[in-house]
Structure 1
Amino acid sequence: MKMTINLRKVLFFLLTLCLIGSAYAQDTALKEAEVAYTKEDYAKAIELYEGILKSNGESAAVYYNLGNTYYKAGKIAPAILNYERCLLLDPGDSDARFNLQMARQKTIDK
């Protein structure tokens, strides 16, 4: 009985440690992506944001940032896709909605 309790404590500790490590890694990757975006290294920022989504799952904020990055890189179709993904997760995001409209206007034939 006592060994079971100790094993539970150890497992809980290890799980907590893994979660903290994962959160730290995501935070670091987000900061790296933001720095790349600021330096106008859009290819690197895209790679980092895509990696975050792949390893941590969906995030409205990451989709929004990825949409902005694609837009700045002149890749309008992927920008639209990522703004739409952001809005699926957070329909009330007015910035994403505005940016989506701006991106769609770029695709209209004149």
Structure 2
Amino acid sequence: MKKQQLANMLGGWFIGDFEPSLLPSSDFEVAVKYYDAGDFEASHVHKIAKEFTVIVEGEVKMNNQIYKSGDIVQIEPGEFTDFEALTKTITVVVKTPSVKNDKYLL
């Protein structure tokens, strides 16, 4: 067994077609992300990748809709979304495929 630290990964992303990565793959990418209340990501779109965001803990607002612990948000390619952590939040995000430079700001 090997032990790694999420803190050594880039923004919580630990599997995908980037470095560092525990499992380099162009098929998908995975992240565990931690947010403080008030953290915000501007509206953006992925032209190729489909994204699944699991709200593990906390409450967030995406496109003016509230999501809470246990909710899974599926975002299709071409669908814009923003992100605001309303409380301290933990998410798990899976994107498929893992495509470099597939994030476009509104």
Report the TM range for the smaller structure's normalisation: under 0.3
Structure with higher RCO (Cα < 8 A, 6+ apart)? 2
Q: Which has the higher helix share?
A: 1
Q: TM-score, normalised by structure 2?
A: 0.27
Q: TM-score, normalised by structure 1?
A: 0.26
